[in-house]
Amino acid sequence: MSNQIRINYEAVYSKTAELCRQLESEVREMEAGYRQTSLPLHGMNSRTNMVFMEAMEENQVLLDDN
């Protein structure tokens, strides 16, 4: 019995690239959803919509930082 750990770096790199592509796709979908949700609210004047838009913009900044 060997005390060595064998790592298949090609498999690790391949899986990492796959997961990065999935994350990038999910971020694009979330950004599209954000835009779709926020666009109709820009034309409204109510205080509630303003607060809602501010909260959405703060969340967008948090997403951009990660």
**Average pLDDT over the chain, rounded to an integer:** 85
Three state DSSP letters for 25-42: HHHHHHHHHHHHHHHHHH
* pLDDT higher than threshold 70 for residue 45: no
Burial class (CB in 10 A: 0-12, 13-18, 19+), 49: middle
Residue 1 has pLDDT above 70, yes or no: no
pLDDT at position 53 is 79
Identify the weakest region by mean pLDDT among 4-8, 14-18, 24-28, 31-35. Answer: 31-35
Domain locations along the chain = 9-65
Answer yes or no: are the C-beta atoms of 49 and 41 closer than 8 Å.
yes
3-class state of residue 26 by DSSP? helix
